[in-house]
Amino acid sequence: MPDIKKFLTGSITLPFEADSGEALAAARRIARRAGLPHADGEYAIYRRSVDARRRDEIKFVYTVLISFSEPVCCRSDALEKAGLRALMGDEIEINYGSAVAGGRPVVVGSGPAGMFCALMLAENGYRPLLIERGAPLEERVRTVGDFFSGGALDTETNVMFGAGGAGTFSDGKLVTRVNDPYTLYVLRRLVELGAPEEILWQAKPHVGTDLLRGVVSRLLSRIGECGGEVTYHCRLDSVTQRGDEVLLSTSQGEIKCGAVVLAVGHSARDTYTSLLRGGFALEPKPFSVGARIEHKADDIDAALYGRFAGDSRLGRAEYALSDTKSDRGVYTFCMCPGGEVIAAASEEGGVVVNGMSNHARRGENSNSAVLASVFPTDYGASVEGAIEYQRRIERAAFAAAGGNFAAPIETVGDFLAGASAHLSSPSRILPSYTRDGTAVCDLRRILPEPVSEEIARGIKIFGKRISGFDAPDALLTGVETRTSSPVRILRDGARTACGADLVYPCGEGAGYAGGITSAALDGIKTALAIMSRFAPDKK
């Protein structure tokens, strides 16, 4: 084994009341047993998760990072016996190309993928232009606040569009299933920009909407400080590649560039249509739809933490549930402890909901999406069919709740019983929907039957795993349709669009990510692909 500098311990399990210093002490003992120069190492918590499988004996599970200033020689068998593994470098290696671009790169969309792509390009001398169809942060927050208060919907600046993308109005969750060494780089950069340092070691890191807005503002400012430029209220209308340059038609006129990154977000339906008309290759893909389920946060805490519920060291209880025993599958998504259900529409005549929480998670309710899988065969296996499937559900929700973006709600008891003739009003658990207006409705008349049946099946199963999950007075709010892009903009091994080698589809909107962290990772890798091809701008 080559000489290495960093090692990770296996799981170190301690009572949650124990000080984290005990985990570091345990790591020192492990290093000594492995024959490492343990006295010379630096020890830091790398990851901490909660093991609440036994509510009367809750534990923290630690992974500790052991670092040395110089590479150390070690035996593989000794490392394995001690439960240690080498941590390979997570620093990003940049290889600069020599080709001369036909103009500066343009990044379309300021969500996590677009921001991290533009940041990487700007910090390395490529002077990117980042265009965003929505408003800058302060204006966006005001516009969304007006909508939450009952004002008109701005179809260009809303929960889906504007500075920071859809993630700006979310829980700021950074959990990802992607096992990528650059993940720590993303987390470190977020901390540099003002995110809480605890995200570096939390097993389920989150920033919170309140803190995330400051991070977004500082990241976008950093792009400008490094020679990049950000232009708002600039919607992409069409893309055309001509020789060594790309022509973009936008709401602010034509833009010529040497390469374009399409980080448009999962709700840019007009962009998908424009790309289809322009001859780009897109394909429909599986996605999910459903509703938000709300419980009292204290009830979820008690169900998962028992007598330890409310202990500040544990924080709010979280869950992630799934069942794939049926052909379709059902799962919870984007759980927001102590959060609220938000009005997330981006089109007139349709209701969309999402979850949001601040860093402290002090809201009365906890919520999550309960979703069933949707397959291309459900909507005719076409790009247009995928978009229309989502839109049809959103419009049905809008009509059922009486219009004006009121949200349809239904108690879990009524939903499971299919009791459309005698619908109950919320009682103990009240809706947290951020726009004033909800209406008791039969969600089974809004959601497609296979989706409703699968969600009902899932709620019953999840009620056996978490006491009270299927409580009759728990509340469902519809509809959640924008969990991911319903389509994929096809790209090749060089990360360029099929048939257009200066166009780089990127992130969640292009169908290559699913959340803040994975989108940021895709943005970074897209920037690296551009940099490996073209030389920096020397102007």
Beta pairing partners, 336:
367
DSSP label of 28: H
Please list the alpha-helical segments (H only) found in 248-296. 269-277
Q: Rounded CA gap, 452 and 470, in Å? A: 15
For the chain, counts of helices (H) and of strands (E):
12, 24
Q: Rounded CA gap, 489 and 48, in Å? A: 37
Q: Say if residue 176's pLDDT is above 80.
A: no
Q: What are the structural domain ranges in the chain?
A: 4-86, 105-283+487-533, 287-480
- What topology does CATH give the domain 4-86? Alpha-Beta Plaits (3.30.70)
Average pLDDT value for residue range 182-187: 91
Average pLDDT, the chain: 95
Helix 209-225 to helix 137-148 angle (10° resolution) is 150
Q: Say if residue 317's pLDDT is above 60.
A: yes
Q: Say if residue 179's pLDDT is above 80.
A: no
Q: Say if residue 3's pLDDT is above 80.
A: no
Q: Rounded CA gap, 311 and 358, in Å? A: 19
Phi, psi dihedral angles at 352 (to 5 degrees)? -135, 140
Q: Say if residue 53's pLDDT is above 60.
A: yes
pLDDT the model gives residue 131: 98
Task: For residue range 360-372, list pLDDT tens digits in order.
Answer: 999 999 999 999 9
pLDDT confidence bin for 157, thresholds 50/70/90: very high
pLDDT the model gives residue 4: 79
For domain 105-283+487-533, say whether CATH 3.50.50.60 is its number.
yes
Helix 112-123 to helix 209-225 angle (10° resolution) is 30
Q: Say if residue 2's pLDDT is above 60.
A: no
Task: For residue range 370-405, list pLDDT tens digits in order.
Answer: 999 999 999 999 999 999 999 999 999 999 999 999
Average pLDDT value for residue range 205-214: 93
Q: Give the percent of the chain with pLDDT over 90.
A: 89
What are the CA-CA distances from residue 114 to residues 78, 124, 155, 445 (Å)?
Answer: 44, 16, 20, 38
Q: Rounded CA gap, 391 and 486, in Å? A: 11
Choose between 183 and 90: higher pLDDT.
183
Q: Say if residue 90's pLDDT is above 70.
A: no
Question: To the nearest 10°, the Cα dihedral for 190, 196, 197, 200?
Answer: -60
Q: Say if residue 148's pLDDT is above 70.
A: yes
Q: Which two tokens stand for residue 207?
A: 């920033």
Average pLDDT value for residue range 58-76: 91
pLDDT the model gives residue 450: 97
pLDDT confidence bin for 1, thresholds 50/70/90: very low
Task: For residue range 236-287, list pLDDT tens digits in order.
Answer: 999 999 999 999 999 999 999 999 999 999 999 999 999 999 999 999 999 9
What are the CA-CA distances from residue 374 to residues 86, 367, 410, 421, 457 (Å)?
Answer: 40, 22, 22, 28, 16
